[in-house]
Every structure is written in structure tokens, then in C-alpha cells.
A and B are shown apart, each in its own frame.
Chain A
């Protein structure tokens, strides 16, 4: 009994911990991007938590399924009741909060960027801005912000590189600085401050984030189509990763198994976007299956699950499955 329940309990712990860590980091990341010392914009961060959770639940689920496999020295692959219990718990913890959050329909409010400091120099790419005074704006106000004695310094280009403007209006929602005459003197949306540059993700991470975002959209779409397609998709995700255990545990060298599990973790998100790529959709249209395009990821993941099971039956050696955990 203990052997059957322990992996499922571990899964719950991993799920909660990874969800908290990933969501916390994402929230902190957004708080860095939304840091606006000149205006009061903190209220928008708390409102972002449901959206962040919705975004991170699939990541936490897949990561926990990998971790629970690696950490348990005794492989749960051949312990059917244990595996079934993990699958049920995983589907419940994936589907329940996702369903609830989709019901709430959280919106991710746009980050209000206003990276100017009163009496301080701020850098935005190749431009620096110094201003003497920023008129405070009331909480929740959407009015433009008045800035006095602003000096704009271009680090490249023609001389003079400095320009003084006695009065400028800043519109944080559009990220522009405008003179009272209506001349737009700077658009800071396309550049980063040095701190934003420090937390700016690398290209592979941006690609990964885009794939997670598209997975969230996919979940949203299936939720709108009804409970069954939604549960089918979520079950397919969980089954894919659980089935992958059979492949991950193939070798006697746990280091290789660990690397393989990381490849599966990353590959899951890549596969999801691949299943919803235009090429697959066009292929389904040719086969006159355009009405079932939304089921392509579900079918794809389930197909892989079956293949993994077959691999497990034919190739997984009992000694590997027993002792190849971390």
C-alpha cells in the first residue's frame, strides 16, 4: 500500500513546490518589468497571479511527472496501481485548477512600464533620460504624467546629443514622451533599461515561453469547446509524460536517463506546438478532417503514449526498470 501511494504523494509535493517556484519566479520577473518608481502601478501585480498560475500549471505538471520518476529508486513503470494513482492525481491537479482558472477567465493586464526616476538618469537602450521632477499620479489613474526639465541624451548620432525640454507628458500605457506641442520625442517601448536587460531571457528561453503560452491558449480553446475535449487534452498530456517513463528508464546509466527525461520535458512543449502547426493543420484538411483539427494535439500525444507503452513492453528490461532511478 505504501509503495503504491508514496509516488503519488511525492508527485503532489513536487507539483506544489514546482508550481510555487515557477509562478513565483514569473511573478517576480513581471514585477521587475513593471517596476515604475515614478507612478503607483503595484496594484496590477496581484491581479496577474491567476493568469500566471494558469500559465505555469502545465509546466509544473510535466516537471513533477519527470521528477517523481527520477527520484523514486524503484521504478513505478511496472507498478500499475502506483502509476494509475499518479495519473489520476496528476489529471486531477492539472484539470481542476485549470478548469477553475478558465472559469474565472483571468486577464493578464498589460504591464505599465514607466522606467523614469525623479532626479535620476535612466537608460533605455542607446538613450538616456534625466528629469528633475515627475508629477505624481493617483492610484489607478490613466492620465498622462507631467515631467519637468527633461534632458534626453542620445549615446550615438549627430551632435549635439543632448536636448532639453522644459515640459514633457509621458503616457505609460503607450510608452511615449510627448511635448506640449504634440511632438513625440521618445518611444521607450522598444528598448530596455539595464535591469530589464539583466532579466531578459535568452532566445531558447523565449522560444520555450512562447510554446508554453501557446499551450495555455490551446487549453483555453479546448475548454471553450466543452469539458470532454478539455479533459481529453489534459489526460493526453499526462499519459504522454507517464508513458515516456518506459523510454526514459531504458538504460542502466541513470545519467543518460536523466538527460533523456530533460529532453522529454522540453520535447513535450515542442511537440504541442508542432501538433498545432500549420503543416499539421493543412495535412488534416487534405484528409478532410478539418473539423477535428482541435483534436490533433490530443491524438498526437495519445499516439505517442501507445508507442511508449509498446516500447516498454518490448524493450524495457526488468533490471533497468527496477534500478535506474536517481
Chain B
């Protein structure tokens, strides 16, 4: 007696294994060396083969089931006729199909979007690395060594082990050091020229003036004048003695200088504190940062430094941190309409474009952002662009600070508008971070939107300016996949049974037909899926989502009926 489920399972596993090997070879042969960095090769081949395996999972399954059942010889079977219901072996096989439908659903929802994202990121970073390399070589050719060095360093952030680029970086480091050393040859020290008032005085007069200054408790002037005398005549011991006495007095003043220093620090701390409580955290941050550099152990400074840093990070970002994420892959080309009253006022709208959104640990960085606020008049209220931005929850920070220079900042470029946002570098955005990621329009973005993501974004998609129809169609197509997988597999069982070899021996001469089956099944499944795409798209566009859902359910119920029919009409099954 033939165990249908064992036969089906074995054939399916053989097909998956052969399928993976086939896709592996295909990925190896079609590795896009002109688009991808060489170090991605092995991981790319493995993942591309896996991605193809998941995508062609229905094709392989249907082909396997078809082959498993159509290769049963009709005279080589002992089955008790089913008594009005589906027989036990077939029931077991259907349970097996249900299990594989679950596996397929899990793979398409969980794994496939991740594999698509990896693929996209690898292509993106390779492209970026190549552009860095091209710019580095151009800068090197033009003699801009520092710029070339920076581009090579950026490249190494992506391709860390590239020996050739590493050598170029080492070479440029040496060249830059030599250049700096050449430009920093110290000039011989010259004695300070005496001030104009002493220039025409003789040694004796200067010494008198020095004595007088010392008597008037001005040891600094006395020391300075004694020094001028010694420059004029090194043999003057009286001048040397006077300088020593002046120095003694200077040293005796030290305690009062310490006091002055403490007083000065206290004032700086007070100013920093006032800046902090008057909501000027950036100014406060730079005061406390400088104080922290000068004084290592001061609890007040440590405390307010931390507080001002936290507050500063709420209204601005640090450019060096933003720049360090430049080479990272991310979600690209996010576009949406923002209607947040805090950004656009009542009944206002803003078109927001984000070129790239990058995640670095717990931080989210924006690279290239453009905002156009549309007012009621015939021109935009404002139109700005920023190179970088930081997203803190739903707040976009567009003011960039340089750690080393308080005066240097990056603020958005204002292209046009009546309401110039001179102060506004902090924007509250409507979408949450999770929603923002789903508003990407980058190539392949459709593949990265899985079923849960679509269910999450769909109720709010109109708020972000999109016609809901395309997301509704996508949702229905994602729902369709497991249904179709199950239906086609059941259909393959019934069809395979009907197409099994009639009498006699197995026609070994036709064994070469088996490898053709997946290719034909691919075309067949494509046509079935494509017809669904057309029907569901048309219904959603003209009658709405719920009509589309109803059509999907009815259509799949009808197809399931048609798939079960060949099994039902076979008395052996």
C-alpha cells in the first residue's frame, strides 16, 4: 500500500533540495560583480538562493506533488474505496499540505522581507562604496590628499578588509603628516620687542622704572622691564637680581590667583546654569563642556554637563555622529504628507521627503530631508532642506552642532517661503518611526512590506497622503499567497492522480520530462497569480477594499472547490 503523505513529503523535500542547489548555482553564475563588492559574494549567493527558494516554494511544491502522484502506476495500487468521504491517506496528505502552507506563510511573512532588505542594503552599500572610491581617486589625482583620505576612510567603513584601500590610506596618512610637518617648521624665537614707551629709554632708566614698579606692588611689570634690560645687556647683575625679586613677589601672589580662578569658575557655572534654566541648552552645554575639560572632579559640573547634554540632544544633534552613519544602509526615499498642527498649523499640509533613514544602535538619523509647507496662498509657506537630521521618537531635529566649535552649526537651507523658519529646527512629525519606515518609495519597497506591516499602516495611510487602494491591493495579494499555495497543492494532488501512468511499465524514456515540470508550473502559477492581481486590483479600485476582500474569499472558495473536485470524483481517493 502506498503511503501518500510519505511519498509526497519525500518528493517535496527532494525538490526543495534540488531547487536550492539549482538556485545556488544560478546565484553563483549570475553574481553581479559590477554592482556588488567582492566580499559580499558568498553571503549573497547563499541568501539569493534562499530567497529564490522561498519565492519559488509554491512552484517546487506543486511540481513535487504532481510528480509524486503522476508517477504512481495505475495498476500498482491497492486502495480501499473511500466510503463517501476523503480516504485516510489523502486526509493525511492534506494535513501535510496545511503544515507546509503554514511554513510557507511564516517564510513569506518573516524571512522574505528580511532577505529583500539584505539584498537592497548590499546593493546600496556597494554602490556607495564605489562612489567613495571614485571620488577618492579623483581627489587624489587632483592633489586634494585630505579629501581623498576621507573618502578612502569612508570606503573602509563599508569594506573594512580591503588591503588595497588600506594601503592607500596608510600612504595618504604619511603624505598628509609630511605636508603638515612642512607647513609647521617653527620660526626662530625672537625676543619680544619692547613696548614703544620703553624703546627710547636707556638701561638705567628702565631699571629705575622696574624698581618703582616693584615698589608699587606690580611685580609683573618689574619682571618684564628687568628682562628688557638683560636683553640689552646680559652682564647686568642688578637687573638679574631685580628679576628674581619680582618673580618672588609674583609667586607670593599665587593664593589670590587661585581665588580669582575659583571665582571665575563659579561665575561660568552660574552662567551655564542660567542658560540651562532659560531653555538655552546648547549654550549651557558648551559652557559645561569647557568646564569639564578644565576641571576633572566637580560634582556640579558633572551634573549640569549631563543635564545640558540631555537637553541639547532634545533640540539638536552632533554633526560628527550624523556623519559617522553616512555609509550605513537604511530606508530610502520616504515621502508623505504631514498634517501635524505643530508643524503646519490648522488645516495646513507639508510635503516631507527623507532621502535616507538610518538606524545606528538606538539612534535614528536622517540623511537629506526636504520639507515644503503648503499654505493657502499660491506659494509654499516655506521650503527647506537639511543635509542631516536626527529623529527622536517623532521629533525631527535639524540643527547640527560641531563638538569642537560652538560657533559652527548646520541649519536647514531655506529655499523659499514667506514663513521662514528661522527658529524652528525642531519638527514634530505625524508618523511614528515604525510608520515612517513603511512610507518608503525605494525600489523593491513593495517586497519589504509584509502582511503585519500592511495591516498596521493601512488604517492610517490616508492621513499620510496616499490613496489607500495600492496598500489595500498589496494586503489582498499578501493574503492570497497562502490560500493559493494550499489550493494549487491540492489541485496538484488531484491532477497528479488523474495524470498517473496508465498500465505497463514506467516510461523511462520520458524521465527527462520531470525537470521540465517546475518550469511549466512556474508559468502556470504565474498566470493564476497574475489573473488574481488584475481581478483584485480592479475590484479594489472601483469598489473598495471590502469588495476586494469578498471577491478574494469567494474566488478562493471557488478555486478550492475546483481543486478538491478531482479528488472527490476519484472513488479510490
26 contacting pairs across A/B (C-beta < 8 A): A29-B534, A31-B538, A35-B541, A37-B467, A120-B467, A130-B337, A130-B465, A132-B374, A153-B351, A153-B353, A155-B335, A159-B385, A160-B383, A160-B415, A162-B353, A164-B379, A166-B378, A197-B446, A199-B530, A199-B537, A205-B527, A253-B501, A253-B513, A254-B70, A255-B67, A326-B499
A25 at the interface (CB under 8 A from B): yes
Interface status of B469 (Cβ within 8 A of chain A): yes
Decide: A323 near B502, CB < 8 A? Known: A162-B351, A259-B516: yes
A28-B538, A155-B333, A253-B501 given; A194·B470 CB < 8 A: yes
Bound complex: CA of A204 vs CA of B504, how far in Å? 38
Is the Cβ of B535 less than 8 Å from the Cβ of A159?
no
Q: Does A235 contact B (CB under 8 A)?
A: no
The answer to the question of B531 belonging to the interface, with a C-beta cut-off of 8 Å to chain A, is yes
A141 contacts the other chain (CB 8 A): no
What B residues does A159 contact at CB under 8 A?
A: 368, 370, 385
* Chain A: number of interface residues, binned into ranges: 35 or more
CA distance A169 to B504 in the complex (A): 73
In the complex, which residues of chain B have a beta carbon less than 8 angstroms from the beta carbon of A9?
none
- For window 16-61 of chain A, which residues contact chain B by CB distance below 8 Å? 25, 28-29, 31-32, 35, 37
- Count CB-based A-B contacts (< 8 Å): 144
* Residue numbers in B under 8 Å from A199 (CB-CB): 530, 533-534, 537
Q: 1/0 per residue A93-137: CB within 8 Å of B?
A: 000000000000000000000000101111100001010100000
Q: How far is the CB of B224 from chain A (nearest CB, A)?
A: 57
Name A162's contact: one of B370, B378, B517 (CB within 8 Å): B370
Which 10 pairs, one residue from A and one from B, show the smallest C-beta to C-beta distance?
A: A28-B538, A166-B378, A254-B499, A255-B70, A255-B499, A121-B465, A194-B470, A120-B467, A155-B333, A323-B502
CA distance A32 to B539 in the complex (A): 9
For A292-321 the 0/1 string (1 means CB < 8 A from B) is 000000000000000000000000000100
In the assembled complex, A287 has its CB within 8 A of some CB on chain B: no
Give A contacts to B, CB under 8 Å.
25, 28-29, 31-32, 35, 37, 117, 119-123, 128, 130, 132, 149, 151, 153, 155, 159-162, 164, 166, 193-195, 197-199, 201-202, 204-205, 251-256, 258-259, 262, 319, 323-324, 326
**Within 8 Å of chain A (Cβ to Cβ): is B486?**
no
Residues of the A chain whose Cβ atoms lie less than 8 Å from the Cβ of B516: 259
Question: In chain A, what residue has the closest Cβ to B505?
Answer: A252
Specify which chain B residues have a CB less than 8 angstroms from the CB of A120 in the assembled complex: 465-467
Whole-angstrom distance between the alpha carbons of A233 and B442 in the complex? 50
Find out whether the CB atom of B385 lies under 8 angstroms from the CB atom of A160: yes
Q: Nearest residue in B to A323 (C-beta to C-beta)?
A: B502
Can you add 5 more A-B contacts, CB < 8 Å, to A120-B465, A128-B441? A35-B541, A153-B351, A162-B370, A195-B469, A197-B446
- List the A side residues contacting B470 at CB < 8 Å: 193-195, 198
Q: What count of chain B residues pass the 8 Å CB interface test?
A: 59
* Chain A residues, CB < 8 A from B374: 132, 149, 151, 164
Which residues of chain B come closer than 8 Å to A153, judged between CB atoms? 335, 351, 353
Contacts of A28 in B (CB 8 A): 534-535, 537-538
Please give me the residue from chain A that is nearest to B387 by CB atom: A159
Q: Contacts of A197 on B, CB cut-off 8 Å?
A: 446
B336 at the interface (CB under 8 A from A): yes
Residues of chain B whose beta carbon lies under 8 Å from any beta carbon of chain A: 66-67, 70, 333, 335-337, 349, 351, 353, 368, 370, 372, 374, 378-380, 383, 385, 415, 441-442, 446, 465-467, 469-470, 473-474, 477, 495-496, 498-504, 507, 510, 513, 516-517, 520, 523-524, 526-527, 530-531, 533-535, 537-538, 541-542
**From A194, which residue of chain B is reached at the shortest CB distance?**
B470
Q: Complex formed: what's the CA distance from A125 to B513 in Å? A: 41
Once the chains are docked, how many angstroms separate the CA of A179 from the CA of B507? Answer: 70
Q: Is the CB of A164 within 8 A of B498?
A: no
Asked if A252 and B335 make an inter-chain contact with CB atoms under 8 angstroms apart, the answer reads: no
Contacts of B527 in A (CB 8 A): 205
B360 to chain A, nearest CB (A): 23
Among the listed A35, A252, A259, which residue makes an inter-chain contact with B502, where contact means beta carbons less than 8 Å apart? A252
Q: Is the Cβ of B502 less than 8 Å from the Cβ of A324? A: yes
Task: List A contacts of B498 (CB < 8 A).
Answer: 254, 326
- A121 to chain B: which residues have CB within 8 Å? 335-337, 465-467
Which single member of B351, B504, B534 contacts A130 (CB below 8 Å)?
B351
In the bound complex, what is the Cα–Cα distance between A172 and B418 (angstroms)?
Answer: 34
**Which chain A positions have C-beta within 8 A of B523?**
204
Minimum distance in angstroms from A268 CB to a CB of chain B: 16
Contact B502 A254 (CB under 8 A): yes
User: What residues on A are CB-neighbors of B503 within 8 Å?
Assistant: 252, 319, 323
Q: Could you say which of A128, A132, A256 has the most chain B C-beta atoms within 10 Å of its C-beta? A: A256
Q: A251-B507, A326-B498 are in contact. Are A256 and B513 (CB under 8 A)?
A: yes
> Do A252 and B534 touch across chains, with their CB atoms under 8 A apart?
no
A117, A166, A255, most chain B CB atoms within 10 A: A255
- Given the interface pairs A28-B538, A117-B467, A198-B473, the reply to whether A254 lies near B351 with Cβ below 8 Å is no
Given contacts A253-B70, A253-B510, contact A195 B473 (CB under 8 A): yes
Complex contact B537–A256 (CB within 8 A) = no
Contact partner of B530 (CB less than 8 A), chosen from A195, A205, A258, is A205
Q: Which residues of B contact A201 (CB under 8 A)?
A: 530
Q: Is the CB of A32 within 8 A of B537?
A: yes
Among the listed A32, A119, A161, which residue makes an inter-chain contact with B353, where contact means beta carbons less than 8 Å apart?
A: A161
Which residues of B sit under 8 angstroms from A324, Cβ to Cβ?
502
Residues of B within 8 A of A149 (CB): 374, 378
Q: Which residues of chain B come closer than 8 Å to A35, judged between CB atoms?
A: 541-542
Q: Are A31 and B465 in contact (CB under 8 A)?
A: no
| Chain A residues with CB below 8 A from B502, complex form | 252-254, 319, 323-324
Residue of A nearest to B351 (CB): A151
Across-interface contacts of B535 in A (CB, < 8 A) = 25, 28
